[in-house]
Amino acid sequence: MKKRINLLNIIKNKSGASLAFVLAVMLLLMAVGISALAAAGATAGKNRQVLNQLNMYADSIQKSVMFSLQTSNDDIGRSIPETLGGQILSTIYEKAAYASPDPVESFTLNLTPELSNGTDLSGVISSVTINIDPLINFTPYTPEQNEVIDDEGNVIFTYEPRRPSTAAISGKITVTVTAEYQNESIISIVTYKLFDGLFADDGTNPDNMIISNAGIWRFISHEKADL
């Protein structure tokens, strides 16, 4: 019988899209966003200054997301990833494991960065949405097969090494940042493609899955518009 996903269990789970992961990424976005707002210079016209600051804010978030994706190799060999890229891989794997044998559907991670009081745009309303359209291919575990020879010396079974259980992951990731302040708002959309992500068991237990390859996150496009 297919397992049902319980929201409370997912929040308590130490891997995948955990509450700690969401809070950690929020803190990262807050820190980068605040530094960008502080560095924004005044330009002619109040509205233009606000738009410039909002653009810098959105760009800083996109850059922090890109940096975290590019450092996903730090998660190789881990069962509990720390980077955003590793967490996305882990979440794809977990959702696919729950959905198996059905294909995993696209899903969204929502983050809400907050700014500290005292910044130029402390009242900004913003959100970060990461839409993930994954592809995943499972390969089951195959135990080691020793060579078997009959009484006449004929080989009945040849030796086959152990083959780990694996989950090959690829797909498209779209990061959307929206920000609104003083009747001005912008939207920034960056699209990536993920290639060659791989989960594999640790060599001892087919249920102990770790990141074997963090994959390649290839930048595809960046769109930005004032709303």
Residue located via tokens 């330009």: 43
Confidence check: pLDDT of 21 > 70: no
Average pLDDT over residues 77-91: 89
**Structural Rg of the chain based on CA atoms:** 23
CB 129 within 8 A of CB 110: yes
pLDDT in tens, 170-207: 999 999 999 888 888 899 999 999 999 999 998 888 88
Determine the Cα angle at 208 with ends 204 and 210, to 5°. 105
The answer for residues whose C-beta is within 8 angstroms of residue 149's C-beta and 6 or more apart is: 155, 156
Question: Judging by DSSP bridges, how do beta strands 155-157 and 166-181 pair with one another?
Answer: unpaired
pTM higher than 0.75:
no
DSSP-derived 3-state class of residue 183: coil
Confidence check: pLDDT of 38 > 60: no
Amino acid identity for residue 58 in this structure: A
What are the sequence ranges of the domains in the chain?
A: 7-226
- Calculate what percentage of the chain has a pLDDT beyond 90: 30
Q: Give the pLDDT of residue 11.
A: 39
Q: Give the pLDDT of residue 153.
A: 82
Q: Give the pLDDT of residue 4.
A: 40
User: What does the buried/exposed string (b/e) look like for 160-188 if buried means 16 or more CB atoms within 10 Å of the residue's CB?
Assistant: eeebbbbbbbbbebbbbbbbbbeebbbbb
**In this structure, what are the phi and psi dihedrals at residue 76, rounded to the nearest 5 degrees?**
-60, 130
Confidence check: pLDDT of 123 > 50: yes
- Calculate what percentage of the chain has a pLDDT beyond 70: 75
Residue located via tokens 């940042």: 177
